[in-house]
Structure 1
Amino acid sequence: MTGSEVPPSFRLAYVPGMTPTKWVRIWNERLAGVPLTLVAVTAAEAADALRHGDADAALLRLPVDRADLSAIPLYTETTVVVIPKDHVGAAVEELSVADLADEIVLHPLDDTLEWERPPGRPAFERPATTADAVELVAAGVGLLVVPQSLARLYHRKDLTYRPLTAPDEEPSAAGPESALSGPSVPGSRVALSWPEARTTDLVEEFIGIVRGRTVNSTRGPKKAPVAQEAAGRSTRGGGAARGASAGGSKGGGTRSGGTKGGGPRSGARSGGAKGGARTGGGTGAGGGRSAKGAKGSGKGTAKRGRPGRAS
């Protein structure tokens, strides 16, 4: 890497209430050489952070403008009502929209719940943020309906929260506009979003992590390189096989050389024949010497066998 090259990194923006801890841990295990930086943004800033290049991807709440941003819905949060601990609603396990009919329900400007018609009675003024609305609940001004993650984020000792359920679907005798046939309860949809024009390999890696893909998964743009690598291994394996075959041919040459080596062995046998001739010659010479010895022995015997002269 030259001095002008920038090492790879990944910036993940997240809105209040998001907890990307698990996904960050998996990222660090799989891509230890690529640091992941968390960028905290407000709900209103999340989309612009992606468009302006301040983040590579973001965990945010839908809706989001799909004209230039891609988004994958991940899950839907439970909707809850934030109330004082001494409120009558704290005595039950859950509250319905009908239970809020006579309550002042705060509706902050950064609310991400898509209401057809907000429950309860509206406040005189809308709080600027959810954090401001929580302070007003603690002051006894009204109640607040938010995703459960935000209720946990802004938790206070003097406040609690209860799940909010939809009213009875069947209209009452008072007609469809009655409290019992009031608005349904929307859920906050959490999504992973990124600029469509910048769908990089690192973005695909993080998509795989949030979708639960394993480290050996070949889905996504890395599928082609994996296939190419496998093809390369196959080609190298074929080359090795051809090399082994060629080596076998050479080995055959060695065996042919062994045939040449058989020539010396044949020569040895020929030499043995010659040696046999020499041996035969030696035997013949020895036989000759034995014959001479026998001849000499015959002379001695004849001399000893002469009769003595008469005296």
Structure 2
Amino acid sequence: MPLRLRYVAGVSPAKWLRAWGERRADLPLEAVRVEQHEQADGLASGDVDLAFVRLPIDTDGLNVVPLWEETPVAVLPSEHPLADRATLTLADLDDEPLAPQQPDPAMIVELVAAGTGYAVLPHGVARLHHRKDVVAIPLSDAPITRIALVWRIERDDDDIQEFVAVVRGRTARSSRGATDEAPAADPKATRAAKRATAQRTTAKQAAAKQSAKRASRARSRRRGR
């Protein structure tokens, strides 16, 4: 029986699947992408062995390896007045309606494109469903999300640990505990995390400049009275 892996949109497991195939040709790995509302389905029953999930989820009875953080973005129609902004804050969107929530991110983006409102999505999900009539703008103060690898505590056998080792970047010769304190994500995820940090820094700097400009205009108005 193959190892059964599920992963949410925004996760690209191809690198790990290739590494697993080279390392364990004797044990196939069945990888299926699922929607976020289905991400924990099958874990408790044992129908799924491992899953890349977007936290938070109920982790009772699960081993959890946090991997990387995801930048939140506001998805807006490309003709929206805020569409040319480099970054946004939640306050910028206070007067904007939210697009109706849907279990399928593609449908949420479709509703945004139709002008029903904006949506907040992880950057990887927005990129996956990118289209020409919407834009995705980093949100500097929205809650970040995190991707984790999870599996059942009672399923913690050598095969599972070998896949965890692949995700963490350990070689076949590495001991199981050699690098347990330092999980390694996909290099793309590492670069995404660095971009997220840079984007948050840029957003904070832009917000500070805007605040200073507003304060300066307020002082000018007071002097002009």
TM-score normalised per structure 2: 0.74
Residue 181 (structure 2) aligns with: none
Residue 40 (structure 1) aligns with: 33
What 5-or-longer segments of structure 1 have no aligned partner?
1-7, 109-126, 167-184, 222-311
Residue 148 (structure 1) aligns with: 123
1:153-168 matched pairs, under 5 angstroms: 153-166=128-141
1:135 aligned onto 2:92: no
Residue 211 (structure 1) aligns with: 168
Question: How many angstroms does 1:220 deviate by?
Answer: 4.6
* 1:146–1:219 Cα change, 3 Å: same
The counterpart of 1:194, out of the listed 151, 174, 192, is 151
Residue 243 (structure 1) aligns with: none
Deviations 1:283-305 (A, max 9, x none): xxxxxxxxxxxxxxxxxxxxxxx
- Match of 1:26, SS state, is helix
Question: How many angstroms does 1:31 deviate by?
Answer: 1.2
Deviations 1:19-71 (A, max 9, x none): 11111111112112221111222222222221122221000111122221221
What 5-or-longer segments of structure 2 have no aligned partner?
179-225
The counterpart of 1:79, out of the listed 61, 72, 83, is 72
The counterpart of 1:49, out of the listed 42, 54, 61, is 42
Q: Distance in 2 between matches of 1:39 and 1:91?
A: 36
**Following TM superposition, where does structure 1 have runs of at least 4 consecutive aligned residues deviating by more than 4 angstroms?**
none
Q: Distance in 2 between matches of 1:40 and 1:79?
A: 21
Contact 1:81–1:143 under 8 Å retained in 2:
yes
* 1:131–1:32 Cα change, 3 Å: same
- Match of 1:93, SS state, is coil
**Paired AA for residue 172 in structure 2:** V
1:93 aligned onto 2:86: yes
- Match of 1:92, SS state, is coil
How many percent identity over aligned positions? Answer: 46
Structure number having the greater helix percentage: 1
**Paired AA for residue 216 in structure 1:** R
Q: Distance in 2 between matches of 1:11 and 1:204?
A: 14
Question: How many angstroms does 1:107 deviate by?
Answer: 6.0
Q: Distance in 2 between matches of 1:98 and 1:64?
A: 27
Residue 182 (structure 1) aligns with: none
TM-score normalised per structure 1: 0.54
Q: Higher relative CO (CA 8 A, sep ≥ 6), structure 1 or 2?
A: 2
Deviations 1:142-173 (A, max 9, x none): 0011001110121112112110112xxxxxxx
Report the aligned-residue RMSD. Answer: 1.8
- Match of 2:126, SS state, is helix
Q: Distance in 2 between matches of 1:214 and 1:58?
A: 21
- Match of 2:162, SS state, is helix
Contact 2:100–2:111 under 8 Å retained in 1:
no
Count residues with an aligned counterpart.
178
Q: Distance in 2 between matches of 1:21 and 1:74?
A: 16
The counterpart of 1:30, out of the listed 4, 10, 23, is 23
Question: How many angstroms does 1:99 deviate by?
Answer: 1.0
Q: Distance in 2 between matches of 1:68 and 1:42?
A: 22
1:10 aligned onto 2:3: yes
1:63 aligned onto 2:20: no
Q: Distance in 1 between matches of 2:114 and 2:36?
A: 25
- Match of 1:135, SS state, is helix
**Paired AA for residue 29 in structure 1:** E
- Match of 1:105, SS state, is coil
